[in-house]
Amino acid sequence: MKKRWICLFVENEIGVLARITGLFSGKSYNLDSLTVGITEDNTISRMTISLTSDDRTFEQIKKQLSRSVEVIKVVDYTDTPLHMKEILFVKVNHCSDADISELFRISKVFGITVIDYDGSTVLLECTQTENKNDDLIILLKRKFVNRIEVTRGGSVAVESVSISER
């Protein structure tokens, strides 16, 4: 089992997202995250899909995706140098003064931004990789038990132009 990344170019039409997710659920393929947005050509949407699977299933998934009429192109990003980002918001509730200074310290170390604050609730914004976001959530969960609210957007990815960054 291995973590995989797929970039999918699809028709920007009603029902296409359902077709893709239906394929995953109907064939019992595991799906970790899926993001979708319109490209520079507004008739085409681009999806970034992450999943965990063995080699054989992954081959099947790629083939099944390519044979869908609505899918224009399937690109396997698994072993490609990528730039990858995931937006993450974390709300931390009922903060004491000590909590707040701790949060500011964390934000400095993790390179994240405090974007909103009302005296007791702090809203953090983090735009890093999925893995780094996972780390941050683990830390915050431990420090602020039952006081955090997580909203994450799923990864988007694009091939590197010159460097090998993951």
Q: What character string, x for contact with another protein (CB under 8 A) and - otherwise, covers 18-47?
A: xx--xx--x---------------------
Nearest approach in angstroms of CB 72 to another protein is 4
Nearest approach in angstroms of CB 70 to another protein is 6
Task: Choose the stretch contacting another protein; rule: CB under 8 A; options: 59-67, 78-86, 101-109, 115-123.
Answer: 59-67
Treating both helix axes as pointing N-terminal to C-terminal, what angle do 97-110 and 130-143 enclose, rounded to 10 degrees?
160
Beta carbons of 160 and 82 less than 8 angstroms apart: yes
- Mark 101-136 as b/e (b = at least 16 C-beta within 10 Å): ebbeebbeebebebeeeeeeebbbebebbbebbeeb
Pairing assessment for the beta strands 82-92 and 113-117 based on DSSP bridges: unpaired
Nearer to another protein, 4 or 85 (CB): 4
Element (H, E) at 20: helix 16-26
Q: Is 8 in the site for another protein (CB under 8 A)?
A: no
Among 33, 52, 68, 78, binds another protein (CB under 8 A): 68
Residues forming the site for another protein (CB under 8 A): 10-11, 14-15, 18-19, 22-23, 26, 56, 59-60, 63-64, 66-72
